[in-house]
Structure 1
Amino acid sequence: MAYVQTSGTHSTNSSSWTQIPGLSLVIPEGVGTTAIIILNVPWPYAGGDNYPGGSFGIEVNGKLSPVIAGFTYNVVNGNARVPTTLVVGIPLGNQPQTITAVWQNVRGSNVTIDTPASLTSIMD
């Protein structure tokens, strides 16, 4: 198992996928098994005036997994906290792989994390 956690406040207003500071780890080689990767963002929120929200993903060696998570508000100026967790299975390969948590805004909003978020890998 490997685990990393953020500290402090982080935010993004990027519409492109960007790394969440501090949330990157390396999983070992190991053909024939799968690592379970868990991105837990317990108290994110987004600000904006067009149904704001945030999207969260996992990159493997710089390539975005097709499995993503996110939230948007159902009101124009939402501002509630929305716990978000993403779980992805990543097959281990012939070489170690870098796992990175990424995020982006929804509709021009500003997404903020001000409580610890974590990235965990669990392997057989």
Structure 2
Amino acid sequence: MALYAQTSGTQQTNSGTFVPIPGLTLTIPEGVDASALVILNVPMPYAEGNNYPGGTFGITVNGTASPVIASFTYNDQNPGSTGRIPTTLVVSVPLVNATQTVAAVWYGVRGSTVIIDTPASLSAILD
């Protein structure tokens, strides 16, 4: 079984802590001795700022953040142009005896603004 959610429109954050990415939430079913492979794909994000801007992406399961994250930053303190930095996160989520809500989250690194202006997706593959 596969589950899938996708963003539409432009999204941005300048939060310094994890906040949900609108539209990227899934409910995974209960299970025993199984797991879901959760994939967050952000194919063309970029960040703006003047202190080595970047973005950090993660997932939460029932509101608890996974310690596994994906991040990008630029090599220049104040980049003259903001190139696109494809970012993908893959996390295994153990199934439990209840449904679980998986949500994609993000924040701006060092006060930067992170922007998604192309579709991003959250998917789960269950075994």
Percent identical residues: 64
Mark the runs of 5 or more structure 2 residues left unpaired by the alignment.
Answer: none
Task: Count the aligned residue pairs.
Answer: 124
Is 2:94 the counterpart of 1:86?
no
Q: CA RMSD in A?
A: 0.5
Is 2:51 the counterpart of 1:50?
yes
Question: Partners of 1:53 and 1:68 in 2: how far apart?
Answer: 13
Question: Partners of 2:67 and 2:43 in 1: how far apart?
Answer: 22
Is 2:118 the counterpart of 1:111?
no
Deviations 1:25-79 (A, max 9, x none): 1000001001000000000000000000000000000000000001000101231
Mark the runs of 5 or more structure 1 residues left unpaired by the alignment.
Answer: none
The alignment's TM-score, normalised by the length of structure 2, stands at 0.97
Give the Å deviation of 1:21: 0.5
Give the alignment of 1:64-79 within 5 angstroms.
64-78=65-79, 79=82
Question: Partners of 2:69 and 2:115 in 1: how far apart?
Answer: 18
The alignment's TM-score, normalised by the length of structure 1, stands at 0.99
Is 2:34 the counterpart of 1:36?
no
Deviations 1:69-113 (A, max 9, x none): 010001012311100000000000010000000000100000000
Q: After the TM superposition, which parts of structure 1 deviate over 3 Å for at least 4 consecutive aligned residues?
A: none
Question: Partners of 1:71 and 1:121 in 2: how far apart?
Answer: 23
